[in-house]
Amino acid sequence: MKPSKITILFFIMSSLTVGLAQKPVYLDSNQPIEKRVQDALSRMTLEEKVDMLHAQSKFSSKGVPRLGIPEVWTDDGPHGIREEVFWDKWIGAGWTNDSCTAFPALTSLAASFNPEMALLYGISIGEEARYRNKSVLLGPGVNIYRTPLNGRNFEYMGEDPYLSSRMVVPYIQGVQQNGVAACVKHFALNNQEDNRTSIDVQVSERALYEIYLPAFKAAVQEGKAWSIMGSYNLFRGQHCCTNDLLLNKILKQDWNFNGVVISDWGGTHNTEQAVLNGLDLEMGTSTDGLTTDGTAPYSEYYMANPYLKNLKSGKYDVKTLDDKVSRILRLIFRTTMSADRPFGKFVSPEHSEAARKIAEQGIVLLKNEKQTLPIPVGKYKKIAVIGENATKSLVIGGGSSSLKVAYEVKPLEGLIAKYGKDVISFSSGYASGQSEYVKETKSRLNKDSLLHAAVEVAKNADVVIYIGGLNKNYLQDSEGGDRKSMALPYGQDQLIQAIQTVNKNIVVVLLSGNAVEMPWLGQVPALVQGWYLGSEAGNALANILSGEVNPSGKLPFSFPKKLEDNAAISFGAISYPGLNGKEEYKEDILVGYRWFDTKKIAPQFAFGHGLSYTTFEYGKATTDKKSYATNDTVKLTLTLKNTGVLKGAETVQIYISALKPSVMRPIKELKAFSKTELDASASRQIEINLGVKDWAFYNEKTQSWEVEAGKYNILVGASSADIRQKVNVEITK
């Protein structure tokens, strides 16, 4: 039966009203993101598009007020949510609700060798960013540890590309499940702070692809990072924030990155390069070339009026503009305009627990003789705690990762809480010139009086816990400048030597983000590498030193015996810190243990080294086959046994070693690791899968990855220098 005219009219009217009432696609969070992006883009004017591409304040960029599209708010950093600063000043705005949880530095996370800790970290810090209504967290950083002097190594995940890759992916996933974009940094080759905005890095294709890019590639392809930050330095003559090869070719084309490329603050220097070489969001520029605030109108940013003018003149096509705007819209629809994102948490008890667990799992026991450690509560009546790092705040300083925290349990506080104030005595021992202790005493303290006071305290104690290392002062572990030596600063070597002459029962705890020289090591029975451990530092350290928690961390970078043993340093100034603005990574792919193995240099402590209060036995490792094709997976099994009397966790590391490669290859390369916790006397069969495709080297001739047929040793180790087992396999084409 044909519908009457009335019915048809009614149907048209009703669908019209419904249509009118229907939300525009871009506002409808049930619509696919790509449709929302295209719909929003189609509604924006040229001016609104250009406005989105650059900062409007220190940490934010414009939305589209007319369309109800919100601004993008970014915030540092990798270890916690930075305090609110003034709109256009680097100065803290003095808010009273932005004191955050400080999580351990990323060296501590890397040292845990536990991707579950990385996920916990990302979720926790992501909840704090979400609660503070940030759309982008400016972290994590994954630049490779190339020299022990780099001021920002403490913010990164060590010397090995595989370890960094495995640890960065869950961190990103954890952050982004809160509807907050991670912003992986600094892309790429930002491996020092000296001359960081002008150094022009030259590096081979192999080293680029095998060492410096893998963690970023994993972050993009596995972590699905929604944004990435270009670095300050140049690569082959172009600043990395506007670098055609890195951004257009490798990141956006080869890796299919569909997120936002954000410049480092002040990393943009040229409109044409910014427009054509892949930058999407320009932050922190001072167009008048000065570093003062407020004198650089945002409208004069390279991707502001200068860009708009040349769009209107037809010099630049709208297609490039629309690609940039689409990426920013995509980030907005993934974050602030995503209807199903959670609401975050801030300074919650769970975050404190997470911070403490990550710190506990990252602390590394480097040496422990004469059963010096653990120090169970009640064992001693008098414990001397010596060293400024026992009381100095280590969550502030260091540059952009500096934090205003809700609380910070410093080592001395944690030790007093653990052992009781009548057991613990304290003496600063040294002063970095900015510590509260020196100010409080007001007396004219000098190295000698501090040293003598400390030696007195040490003399009368049953055991000494020395807590020193580096700190976040400029030219220590800090952004903007590198250390000038690998030695401990502030006279600590003399202090440690003076202490051990009056008390041989000493534990040295180093809090740092970098390796240091240790002239006193032979006289010290126990040594612990603590990192910048965040708000729960004192509790984590006390739990480890007392044996309540068994240390399980492993070094994410090598500790050289002396600075000249380091690969980059050994090639002189052109290799580090660079000569006349140019720097050549002459060590090529031989970074870290790759160098020590090849040059047969014994490090002070090897990559992957870390002891426990218990002992582990590695059973015979076997593989499911003897020969494999290049796209096979090797299934390796071994039984791990806890042969001690305490529960503990061990990280079994798997390295591969090509026996007769056609190209220069490191002696061994980390390709898998597995952390297992075992009760005393317990054992467990561990199964580790190794994708043979990951054994490839980057062939510069064919510009592609290549797995070479031939014989390989699979090395099973407790560290890169402590290989317990070797399994020989054949790879066939």
Residues that bind ligand GLC (CB under 6 A): 76-77, 138, 185, 264-265, 400
DSSP letter string over 516-578?
A: ---TTGGG-SEEEEE---GGGHHHHHHHHHHTSS------SS-B-SSGGGSHHHHT-TTTTT-
Tell me if 663 sits within 8 A of 701, measured CB to CB. no
- Cβ closer to ligand GLC: 517 or 583? 583
User: How far is residue 255's CA from residue 218's CA, in Å, rounded to a whole number?
Assistant: 10
> Shortest distance, CB of residue 403 to ligand GLC, whole angstroms?
12
> Shortest distance, CB of residue 232 to ligand GLC, whole angstroms?
7
Residue 726, token pair as written in the block: 């070797």
DSSP letter string over 333-375?
A: HHTTT-TT-----SS-HHHHHHHHHHHHHH-EEEEE-TT----
DSSP letter string over 649-681?
A: EEEEEEEEEESS-SS---S-EEEEEEEEEE-TT
> Shortest distance, CB of residue 185 to ligand GLC, whole angstroms?
5
Location of structure tokens 């952009």:
400
Of 268, 230, 286, the C-alpha closest to 90 is 286
> Shortest distance, CB of residue 140 to ligand GLC, whole angstroms?
10
> Shortest distance, CB of residue 483 to ligand GLC, whole angstroms?
18
Give Cβ neighbours of residue 317 (< 8 Å, ≥ 6 apart): none
How far, in Å, are 62, 519, 705 from residue 297 at the CA level?
14, 53, 46
- Cβ closer to ligand GLC: 137 or 385? 137
Pairing of strands 627-629, 722-732: parallel
- Cβ closer to ligand GLC: 76 or 210? 76
Tell me if 508 sits within 8 A of 496, measured CB to CB. yes
- Cβ closer to ligand GLC: 128 or 587? 128
Instruction: Tell me if residue 211 falls in helix, strand or coil.
Output: helix
92 bridge partner residues? 85
Residue 674, token pair as written in the block: 């597995």
Query: What interhelical angle do 33-43 and 318-334 show, nearest 10?
Result: 130
> Shortest distance, CB of residue 591 to ligand GLC, whole angstroms?
22
Residue 500, token pair as written in the block: 């051990």
| Dihedral of alpha carbons 445, 451, 452, 458, sign | positive
User: How far is residue 8's CA from residue 340's CA, in Å, rounded to a whole number?
Assistant: 38
> Shortest distance, CB of residue 224 to ligand GLC, whole angstroms?
20
- Cβ closer to ligand GLC: 76 or 127? 76
DSSP letter string over 253-300?
A: IIS---SEEE--TT----HHHHHHTT--BB-S--TTS---SSSS-GGG
How far, in Å, are 72, 128, 504, 534 from residue 98 at the CA level?
18, 10, 45, 16
User: How far is residue 515's CA from residue 517's CA, in Å, rounded to a whole number?
Assistant: 7
User: How far is residue 164's CA from residue 182's CA, in Å, rounded to a whole number?
Assistant: 16
3-state helix, strand, coil split of the chain in percent (to 5) is 30, 20, 45
Residue 571, token pair as written in the block: 């090639």
> Shortest distance, CB of residue 363 to ligand GLC, whole angstroms?
25
- Cβ closer to ligand GLC: 74 or 391? 74
Sheet holding 238-239, edge to edge: 238-239, 234-235, 200-202, 582-584
652 bridge partner residues? 674
Tell me if 194 sits within 8 A of 480, measured CB to CB. no
Location of structure tokens 């090995």:
160
How far, in Å, are 108, 347, 393 from residue 536 at the CA level?
13, 12, 12
> Shortest distance, CB of residue 399 to ligand GLC, whole angstroms?
7
User: How far is residue 244's CA from residue 238's CA, in Å, rounded to a whole number?
Assistant: 8
- Cβ closer to ligand GLC: 200 or 565? 200
- Cβ closer to ligand GLC: 59 or 121? 59
Instruction: Tell me if residue 683 falls in helix, strand or coil.
Output: strand
> Shortest distance, CB of residue 74 to ligand GLC, whole angstroms?
8
- The letter for the amino acid at 229 is M
- Cβ closer to ligand GLC: 138 or 169? 138
- Cβ closer to ligand GLC: 77 or 174? 77
User: How far is residue 274's CA from residue 308's CA, in Å, rounded to a whole number?
Assistant: 13
> Shortest distance, CB of residue 513 to ligand GLC, whole angstroms?
14
Catalytic residues: 264
- Cβ closer to ligand GLC: 265 or 576? 265
End-to-end CA distance of the chain: give it in Å, rounded. 70
Tell me if 416 sits within 8 A of 495, measured CB to CB. no
- Cβ closer to ligand GLC: 128 or 632? 128
| Dihedral of alpha carbons 41, 43, 45, 48, sign | negative
> Shortest distance, CB of residue 261 to ligand GLC, whole angstroms?
14
Element housing 542 (H / E): helix 537-546
- Cβ closer to ligand GLC: 265 or 607? 265
Instruction: Tell me if residue 551 falls in helix, strand or coil.
Output: coil
